[in-house]
Structure 1
Amino acid sequence: MSVHDTPGNRRAVTAGVDWAKDNHAVCIIDSDGDPVERFTVTHTKAGLTRLNTILDRHGVDEVGIERGDGPIVDALLAAGRTVLVIPPSQVKALRRRYGSAGNKDDRFDAYVLADTVRTDRRRLTPLLLDGEATIALRKLCRARKDLVAHRVAATNQLRAHLQTALPAVIDLFRDLDSPISLRFLARFTSQDTIDWLSPKRLAAWLSSVGYCGRADPAILHARITSAARGADGDHGQALAGITRAYLATIQAIITQIEALAHQITEALTQHPDRQIFTSLPRCGTIRAARLLAEIGDARGRFPTPASLACLAGVVPSTRESGKARIVAFRWAVDKQLRDAVCDFAGDSRHSNPWAAELYNRARNRGHDHPHSVRILARAWLDIIWKCWTTGTAYDPAQHRALQRLLNQDQTVAG
């Protein structure tokens, strides 16, 4: 054993792991940046055990990796190591430190990750995982969001199909994927069946399914008769089979969306931070759950409201060089977090006067709707961060900017 390898005088080492689907390339370097060992482990229990065994042998405490989730990260954290996440976009830029080509290579990327941990440790934030309840809630919310996107896509396919098969149904009710629209299509799948309808028969059918819409049956029947005719006869029957296939698909997706919504409600009810997010204006169960899930419960991840706002992408990116100063849209963000925050902020203006004023002022300055919503979201994140870090619910009576605005309105009214 050399003098550098003695337990009391061992050189500090770091490691980088280039994450992949089946195999992970690993590089261990010493304090001078020289590779100590390079190896590959499989994405199996035995492979991850071997990874930790080799890291233990070299005394590696800090590991750089491109993503912050998955079994490999869980294995590293369970072994007591500090995991430092370096996004792929940064790794791509860092490759040019070591050569002008900047080519992608798994073994080389593992070295880049390890050396970045060695040289830029003070700029990297250790990975802090949320609690299991928050992680589960996040997966539920994201799965529901994906299914909603599938429902929209299937509905658009149905709408395109109905342009030929049955145009009268497309704009008959408000939404093509609403329960009444789907029930109508299930009963009247072709032009031949729709031709059977009269105002009286349509009114009777609507009453039998409990339709409570405001449109008069006579008006609905007029929409049917004024629309272009769809396919009839044998051709219409063939297209009706396609209509039923789309209906079954959409109905199955809707059923699973409702099942996930029920699970989200149960998970949110049991979460210790639920009162923080459910107290926000126009924050129903799903919206509160998304905000909670995307912000998380690891308080150390966001030491300031600005750090939360930057990751959420609701503050611009500023570049300056000489006399030139460019303020641009921030692209390198957590898009799921930005979507959740902007969804909440955009709707909050309908019930909160302070939010409405901030939004309207932004629009009056010439900003478009998305930009104005991001400005409002940035302001909301200051409040949400304060509630989140102190564990207190949002109280409009304690919101000083809101109270000043309300008092001004009362003064003007008086």
Structure 2
Amino acid sequence: MIYCGIDWAEKTHDVALVDDTGQLLAKRHITDDAVGYKILLDLLAEYGDTEQDPIPVAIETSRGLLVAVLRTGKRKVFAINPMAAARYRDRHSVSRKKSDPGDALVLANILRTDMHAHRPLPDDSDLARAIAVLARAQQDATWNRQQIANQLRSLLREYYPAALDTCATWANGLCRPEVRELLKAAPTPARAARLTRTQIQAALRRAGRKRGIAAEADRIRDVLRVDYAHQPPLVEEALGQQILALLIQLEAACTAADDLAQAVDEAFPQHPDADVILSFPGLGTQLGARVLAEIGDDHERFADARGLKAYAGSSPITRASGKKSSITRRWVKNDRLNHAGYLWAFSAITASPGAKAHYRRRRDDHGDWHAAAQRNLFNRMLGQLYHCIQKHELFDEHTAFSAQLTAAA
């Protein structure tokens, strides 16, 4: 059997082929373009690569055009963590020398000796991969929006507390369009105190507000005219300019998050597993798409539910040495799926009586803290999701939490 290792770089790649005995059969230095990809495929074909029996490939990345080319057909592509590859390098040399051709040889030998211990890239459908792109982009846009909003809040606390008091009762706070329009009209407290009811009402209408404009304008006007401490006028004007610059970034981040959310709303319901995922309490379109993006639709990716739980970081891990043993939470995990799991468990507590009873039992009977109880609930529901997706069954409350519902009753 032939094994291929590719040391990936930005512009060029090093390729190495080895056989079962570890003998180097061929090595190439290819460019990151269509010509280089053709040289690679021709090299693999020269050493017996066929559509029915492709040569497995190890590479240190799971994304990019090179990986897309290699994943066509039935070929198994193994994305090896660079840290793991560095540990394997010590098996072949004690001098700690490093070179790109040498790393390609190391990757090929990883497959030769330990291919069973590594997992190939999942065979997800094109629709699932497209949903993954949109869901991750929307998640990144949401995090970016919140980061800019935090910067804006920190700056407003330095010189403009009235703006924070204005939006204190609104959901989403500084990310609302009403706040952005008001700050554009009055980026400093001095200008805000001079705003008239008509100007405030016009700002609310520009933000898309339809009802209660007059009453809300009166409330905002009263808040903005309360006596606050002020920065010196020149400093206040400079901070106002900084606020306007941040508003441009926040506007772009809000637009990106909304547009990507709409794209997810259109793409996710088209997936065959969408109805199963949406049947679970606490999972909507956006959160369900994030879960699907990380677990994929390759039903053979995980051997059992335990593998999925370990991948999500919801199952505990045991560290034992001699007479010492400790059970702690996992640190090496899929952070995106783990983050979605906490949001899922938090929403499920109020959406599912069984989930709420399970959470209360972990808090009261086992003494778990809030985060630990949430993680335990996520761990249980993730196992139920694995079963339902494998069997393509919808979530059933009484089947999932029969014991908890009986105890609660």
> Does 2:192 align with 1:191?
no
> Does 2:10 align with 1:21?
yes
> Does 2:299 align with 1:305?
no
CA distance in 2, matches of 1:273, 1:391: 7
| Among candidates 119, 128, 133, match of residue 134 of structure 1 | 128
Q: Which moved more, 1:221-230 or 1:248-257?
A: 221-230
DSSP 3-state at the match of 1:15? strand
Distance 1:238 1:62, change over 3 A: closer
DSSP 3-state at the match of 1:129? coil
CA distance in 1, matches of 2:395, 2:340: 18
> Does 2:183 align with 1:182?
no
Q: TM-score, normalised on structure 1?
A: 0.85
Q: CA deviation at 1:136?
A: 0.9
Q: CA deviation at 1:44?
A: 0.7
Distance 1:43 1:204, change over 3 A: closer
CA distance in 2, matches of 1:316, 1:105: 38
| Among candidates 110, 113, 116, match of residue 122 of structure 1 | 116
Please name the residue that 1:388 is paired with.
Answer: 389
Q: Gaps spanning 5+ residues in structure 2: where?
A: 50-54
CA-based RMSD: 2.8
| Among candidates 41, 45, 54, match of residue 43 of structure 2 | 54
Distance 1:92 1:366, change over 3 A: farther
CA distance in 1, matches of 2:287, 2:73: 36
Please name the residue that 1:403 is paired with.
Answer: 402
Distance 1:125 1:201, change over 3 A: closer
1:117-156 CA-partner distances (Å, limit 9, x unpaired): 1112332333333111111111111111111122122222
DSSP 3-state at the match of 1:120? helix
| Matching residue's letter, 2:310 | C
1:47-101 CA-partner distances (Å, limit 9, x unpaired): 0111111122122512222233322222223264322232223212222222345
Distance 1:387 1:224, change over 3 A: same
Q: Which moved more, 1:134-143 or 1:249-258?
A: 249-258
Please name the residue that 1:255 is paired with.
Answer: 255
- Whether the 8 Å contact between 2:12 and 2:29 is mirrored in structure 1 is yes
Distance 1:204 1:86, change over 3 A: closer
Q: CA deviation at 1:201?
A: 7.5
| Matching residue's letter, 1:374 | R
| Matching residue's letter, 2:333 | V
| Matching residue's letter, 1:369 | H
| Matching residue's letter, 1:83 | V
* Number of residue pairs aligned between Structure 1 and Structure 2: 395
Distance 1:248 1:77, change over 3 A: closer
Q: CA deviation at 1:21?
A: 1.6
| Among candidates 13, 16, 33, match of residue 22 of structure 2 | 33
CA distance in 1, matches of 2:222, 2:101: 69
Please name the residue that 2:52 is paired with.
Answer: none
| Matching residue's letter, 1:45 | A
Q: TM-score, normalised on structure 2?
A: 0.86
| Matching residue's letter, 1:390 | K
CA distance in 1, matches of 2:183, 2:35: 54
- Whether the 8 Å contact between 1:154 and 1:249 is mirrored in structure 2 is yes
Q: Report 1:180-329 matches (<5 A).
A: 180-196=178-194, 209-210=209-210, 223-226=223-226, 228-231=228-231, 233=233, 236-329=236-329
| Matching residue's letter, 2:193 | D
Q: CA deviation at 1:25?
A: 1.6
Please name the residue that 1:367 is paired with.
Answer: 368
- Whether the 8 Å contact between 1:190 and 1:231 is mirrored in structure 2 is no
CA distance in 1, matches of 2:22, 2:204: 77
Q: Which moved more, 1:230-239 or 1:345-354?
A: 230-239
Identity %: 29
| Among candidates 149, 152, 155, match of residue 158 of structure 1 | 152
Q: Gaps spanning 5+ residues in structure 1: where?
A: 1-11
